[in-house]
Structure 1
Amino acid sequence: MTSPKTVLITGTSSGIGLATAVAAARAGWTTIATLRDTGKADALLTAAAAHEVTDRIQVKHLDVVDPATIATCLDEVIAEHGHLDALVNNAGAAQVGTIEQGSLDEVRAAMEVNFFGVVATTRAALPHLRASHGRVITVTSVGGIVGQPFNEAYCAAKFAVEGFMESLAPVAATVGVDVTVVEPGAVASEFVANLNLDVDAQLTTAGPYAPALQAYLTRTQQSFTNAQTPTEAAAPLIKALTAPHPPFRIQTSPWARNFVTTKLTDLDGSAVQTLTGEWVR
């Protein structure tokens, strides 16, 4: 008998990562659901039990900014299952602010999680994915295409991920590995809540940027009232996981496709600047 395919997913404590882990298990994959803190796996395990896929989900420790945990996790996966067929880079962290009032350390931290963590995990997984003719699927964001106010560090990291993966894709294809990026828009998850953003404090210390920040936060709160559910956002990831030849770039909703199209057809940048400029007025 052929053993089930194995997928490793980062950042599965909540949101898209959790939904993707459960959906992959339901699709028949052996799912390695990784977390920086395995003590936060309760929601994942509850969802797995509700869908009767607990036997297909294995929780493991992996911190994308700690190469030792990446190596240990992959070694365990290969020792226990013999192969790795897909990697889903999902772990990430939001960061809101503008550079004059932030610190370089905050920018570096955003890059470490959202960019270098993706690079490190992908690099470590590639030898195993070459052996299986597998695939790399990376959750980026519409913010990896369109730069957004007060998301400078986050969007910079997601832009970097998009450039990294777009450059890697044709090279990886020569050794039988597919590369796909998946771009969600607003998703109703704990991702933004995990910012622990003190809005009043932010506005109090924003100085000359306070009116723009207030306008941006108001618009953002409104956008999340119509957000996708994590399950809806995870569905395109499962298609990328199971399709014979997935495309390089996938958006998770019609809104996300329209938003990304604005940038990809905007040769002089004026359309994007007009659009995002409205968010801060």
Structure 2
Amino acid sequence: MSAPVVLVTGTSTGIGLEIAVGAARAGWRTVATMRDVGRAQRLRDAADAAGVGDLLDVRRLDVVDQASVVACVADVMAVHGRLDAVVNNAGAGHVGTLELETVDDVRAVMEVNFFGVLHVTRAALPHLRAAGGRLLTVTSVGGVVGQPFNEAYCAAKFAVEGFMESLAPVAASAGVSVTVIEPGAVASEFVANVGLDREAAIAGAGAYGPALRAYLARSADAFAAAQSPADAAAAVVATLTDPDPAPRVQTSPAARQFVGTKLADLDGLAVTTLTTSWLR
């Protein structure tokens, strides 16, 4: 039999790059997608160093462009003849609060982090049904716990979690397993790509300036002790190869503890007490 085929989004850096290499190392023919294939060299070098360059198929896919998604999935089926798994990994961070930004800013965050996931999932599901395959979506602990100055980002990740939790039993009835995977802080380019000028943001935050300063200081400390992209990706690959994957997976003990605070917090006080402390 031919090797199973997995499509991974957002593979130019960070967790996505490590997932693509790890999946190939586990024997999957890996369709590694990214918006700009001109940034693929680091991924190709990592795959070659791991001895799995021959299992890597790099393709362009922009999750916010439905035509791009449909074309990529169609090409995968034309070339490989099967699609056994998808890992929705592409996403973008965002720091801000509603009074200081526009609704269009929030909508843009939703387009990448929520609707992008939907575009890929919708295009892939018929093929995953045919394969009895699996759908993995990298969300975040921010998809469970709302965090200060992450309103739009957490809203998008909450939406993904709710969508996938609702989809899971429906997809399972047709033979497709659905899992959300929740990293905590990960030492990757994801945070840098937010593009926040710290001092300018604080200066422009008005009444929210002191709280934003405290939040950014706390975040810097959290990311100083962050999980490596390789460790986070290992949890994703383990789920990809698990014969009976769980519907929800955290990538580290810290992530499990953080998510557990919310899942046991019936009145919401534990979470809001915790996150309020970040702003002092």
Tell me the TM-score range normalised by the shorter chain: over 0.9
Q: Distance in 2 between matches of 1:158 and 1:196?
A: 19
Q: May I ask how many residue pairs the two structures share in their alignment?
A: 280
- SS of the equivalent of 1:181 reads strand
Letter paired with 2:20: A
Deviation at 1:52, TM superposition (A): 1.2
Residue 274 of structure 1 pairs with residue 273 of structure 2: yes
Q: Distance in 1 between matches of 2:119 and 2:271?
A: 31
Residue of structure 1 equivalent to 2:234:
235
Q: Distance in 2 between matches of 1:125 and 1:150?
A: 33
Residue of structure 1 equivalent to 2:158:
159
Residue 192 of structure 1 pairs with residue 184 of structure 2: no
Deviation at 1:200, TM superposition (A): 1.1
Q: Distance in 1 between matches of 2:53 and 2:14?
A: 18
Q: Distance in 2 between matches of 1:40 and 1:280?
A: 37
Residue of structure 2 equivalent to 1:61:
60
Q: Distance in 1 between matches of 2:165 and 2:70?
A: 24
Q: Distance in 1 between matches of 2:42 and 2:220?
A: 25
TM-score normalised to structure 2 length? 0.99
Residue of structure 1 equivalent to 2:127:
128
Letter paired with 2:149: F
Residue of structure 2 equivalent to 1:201:
200
Q: Distance in 2 between matches of 1:180 and 1:198?
A: 35
RMSD: 0.5
- SS of the equivalent of 1:31 reads strand
Residue of structure 1 equivalent to 2:93:
94
CA deviation profile, 1:149-205 (whole Å, cap 9, x unmatched): 000000000000000000000000000000000000000000010112111110110
In structure 1, runs of 5+ residues without a counterpart are none
Q: Would you identify which runs of 4 or more consecutive aligned residues in structure 1 move more than 2 Å?
A: none
Q: Distance in 1 between matches of 2:13 and 2:253?
A: 23
In structure 2, runs of 5+ residues without a counterpart are none
TM-score normalised to structure 1 length? 0.99
CA deviation profile, 1:38-82 (whole Å, cap 9, x unmatched): 111111111111111110011000000001111111111111111
- SS of the equivalent of 1:261 reads helix
Residue of structure 2 equivalent to 1:50:
49
Residue of structure 2 equivalent to 1:77:
76
Letter paired with 2:212: L
Residue 222 of structure 1 pairs with residue 221 of structure 2: yes
Residue of structure 2 equivalent to 1:6:
5
Residue of structure 2 equivalent to 1:104:
103
Deviation at 1:249, TM superposition (A): 0.2
Letter paired with 1:237: V
Letter paired with 1:47: A
Deviation at 1:224, TM superposition (A): 0.5
- SS of the equivalent of 2:245 reads coil
- SS of the equivalent of 2:6 reads strand
Q: Percent identity?
A: 64
- SS of the equivalent of 1:215 reads helix
- SS of the equivalent of 2:278 reads helix
